[in-house]
Amino acid sequence: MMVAIYPGSFDPITYGHMDIAVRAAEVFDKVYVAVVYTKQSKSFWFGTEERLKLCKEALCHIPNVEVISYMGLTVDLAHKLGAQVMVRGLRMGSDFDYECEMALNNRKLAPDVDTIYFMASLEHIYVKSSLLREIADSNGEISHLVPDSVAAALRERINSRV
């Protein structure tokens, strides 16, 4: 049985993340979407519980995907779950340097867990949580970037600040 984890911030989950999760679920027997727990030093827009909830809602239709949260090293989580593979998505070349560093560091820490990349689909290649937040913050159209539940959460988050 091939088990994969798909780790990330998912702040918040977008159609781009969902596309990767769906495609990974077609390749692996089980995919854990692993939402990294908020560390005080890193500021996310959404707390861990809300990021987790939005991911669960967005991915509940895929039977072999389970959404969890975690703290600490991703390779430790992979070992705990018996995952042989870490899944990540690649958009433009700008993702490459960061992902390369991560993959090499992770392989040093856990040579038994390899990272497998899915190339972003053309329609999602420009979708990025940070840009999404900026567009939402300026009241721009986001319905092509995220499901309704995420759009509603973004609006609520923005309105709660004013």
Minimal distance, residue 20 CB to ligand ADP, in Å: 5
Binding status of residue 10 toward ligand ADP by CB under 6 A? yes
**Which amino acid is residue 72, in one-letter code?**
G
CA distance 35 to 98: 18
| β-pair partners for 117 | 88
- Active-site residue, from 9, 17, 30, 88: 17
Nearer to ligand ADP, 91 or 110 (CB): 91
- The residue among 109 and 162 lying less far from ligand ADP, judged by its C-beta, is 109
Cα–Cα–Cα angle for 39, 43, 45, rounded to 5 degrees: 120
Quick one: which of 38, 48, 115, 129 contacts ligand ADP (CB under 6 A)? 129
95 makes contact with ligand ADP (CB under 6 A)? yes
Judge whether 61 counts as a catalytic residue: no
CA-nearest of 43, 88, 83 to 66 is 83
The strand pairing partners of 7, in sequence order, are 34
Cβ atoms < 10 Å from Cβ of 98:
10
Secondary element (H or E) of residue 6: strand 3-8
Question: Is 12 a residue that touches ligand ADP (CB under 6 A)?
Answer: no
Residue nearest to ligand ADP (CB): 16
CA distance 140 to 134: 9
Interface with ligand ADP by CB under 6 A: which range of 58-66, 126-134, 135-143, 153-161? 126-134
Active site residues: 17, 42, 91, 129
Residues contributing to the site for ligand ADP (CB under 6 A): 8-10, 14, 16-17, 20, 88-89, 91, 95, 120, 124, 127-129
